[in-house]
Structure 1
Amino acid sequence: MNPWRQLDATQMPGNGGELRLMQRASEFSIMLGTTELMNSRLSGSEEALATLPCERLKQRRHPHILIGGLGMGFTLRAAQAALPPDAGIIVAELVPAVIDWARGPMQPVFADCLDDPRTELWQGDVGRLIGKSAAMFDAILLDVDNGPEGLTRRANDDIYATAGLRAAHKALRPGGILSLWSSAPDHTFTKRLGNAGFKVEEIKTRANGKRGARHVIWLAEKL
């Protein structure tokens, strides 16, 4: 049996703990301490984060999408596959090392998706980018933490708070969609989305096709 080996580690901004990149044969894992945040074998729900809203944007010309969190690129690749050639995609990633891993040891996972001419990689806090945007995006896809009950950064709570959701509402074009990933349901958060001016649908999905852990995708349409 192949043992896991650590390829690299970095400190999360804001004293969020140590983020570690692990590898076992062709399998990769990103861990926060002893908690696995993502695994290269489990991509179903991260892909659904993109495919569900992009399906609803098919009639839009020149769709402009913001993805919060690069991760292992599952959401980015799914968005690229679903969007037309005239789309624009911005990927905001807070942690510089995650970008380095994508271009370095995890390049077999990412393939050439970072070279897609529709895609711009932006290193920084997605919340700041949302806050300075007005009616700019047709969809905002957020997978920046474990969901409303965050694990990695206390500052991520601001994105899921009422003020953060209203900022996302402002950053979306009319009828735009805020798509959010979570490891578990949160009925209080569903109500918060509604109070922020969204029509909300909560969709349960699996980490790996019809198997694996159950995750939640919120599709929140700007009213």
Structure 2
Amino acid sequence: MKRFVLLDTAPIPENGGALCLFEYGEDFVIKIQGGDGGQLMNTRMHGSEDALAEIPCKRVTHRPTPRVLIGGLGMGFTLASALKHLGKNAQVVVAELVPGVIEWNRGPLGAKAGMPIDDPRSEIRCADVANVLQSEPQGFDAIMLDVDNGPEGLTQRSNSGLYSAAGLQNCHRALRAKGILAVWSASADRKFSERVAKAGFKVEEVQVYAHGNKGTRHTIWIAEKR
């Protein structure tokens, strides 16, 4: 019988909380310490994380030297998908706030996604993605954000600024001409679509399966800079 085995705990900087990595049979699961027991992510269901990178990267891969930013390393599946859909001249910058998550991706957890952090096109930064956005105006052809459960499903209040009008304007400034912003969410949110449009984007809301082609669906906003 499978059971959850705690492997490690990683403090969240300036938060007071922590993330916990569990082994569950052949899979890995990340939860918030002291939470309601729900999973933030697991290695068995990552179809929507794959799509978060596939959709925007396919739109910018034709550019001579595409440079993209991923907010949140997670279990590495979005990074792996970005590398799969971009050419050899691309660069993928990943901003991950929690040092422990980066270390987990260097071990057995990372092997589940094919060790994408070892790809020479990958640049892993232990940093708040909001700071990276502010520091690199017109620095990216695409930005992919997956730092929480979405604009209305936050587990960490500190992430709310990223989804605010000011946060979306920072994304707009950090994108090159016709750049693509992709935002992952566990659920749909019409008000957020309107907020993205007001920030200067042409936006569409895409529903994708969490795993396979049936069951739970997640939402990805795909927004082109106007």
TM-score range, shorter chain: over 0.9
Name stretches of at least 5 consecutive residues in structure 1 with no aligned partner.
none
Which amino acid in the other structure matches residue 134 of structure 1?
Answer: P
The match for 1:202 is 205
Q: Which shifted more, 39-48 or 204-213? A: 204-213
Cα offset, 1:11, TM superposition: 2.8
TM-score (normalizing by structure 1): 0.96
Listed one character per residue, the Cα deviations across residues 153-190 of structure 1 (whole Å, up to 9, x for unaligned) are 22211110000100100000010000000000011110
Cα offset, 1:104, TM superposition: 2.3
Gap change, CA 1:76 and 1:19, over 3 Å in 2 = same
TM-score (normalizing by structure 2): 0.95
Query: How do 1:99-110 residues align onto structure 2 when only pairs under 5 Å count?
Result: 99-110=102-113
The separation in 2 between residues aligned to 1:156 and 1:180, in whole angstroms, is: 13
Task: State the identity %.
Answer: 49
Q: For residue 135 of structure 1, give the secondary structure of its aligned residue in structure 2.
A: coil
The match for 1:60 is 63
Query: How do 1:6-21 residues align onto structure 2 when only pairs under 5 Å count?
Result: 6-15=6-15, 17-21=17-21
The separation in 2 between residues aligned to 1:23 and 1:112, in whole angstroms, is: 18
Q: For residue 106 of structure 1, give the secondary structure of its aligned residue in structure 2.
A: helix
RMSD of aligned alpha carbons: 1.2
Listed one character per residue, the Cα deviations across residues 175-216 of structure 1 (whole Å, up to 9, x for unaligned) are 000000000001111000000000001000110021231100
Q: For residue 150 of structure 2, give the secondary structure of its aligned residue in structure 1.
A: coil
Name stretches of at least 5 consecutive residues in structure 2 with no aligned partner.
none
The separation in 1 between residues aligned to 2:98 and 2:152, in whole angstroms, is: 20
- Residues paired across the two proteins, number: 223
The separation in 2 between residues aligned to 1:16 and 1:192, in whole angstroms, is: 30
Which amino acid in the other structure matches residue 23 of structure 2?
Answer: Q
Which amino acid in the other structure matches residue 25 of structure 2?
Answer: A
Gap change, CA 1:115 and 1:72, over 3 Å in 2 = same
The separation in 2 between residues aligned to 1:154 and 1:212, in whole angstroms, is: 29
The match for 2:152 is 149
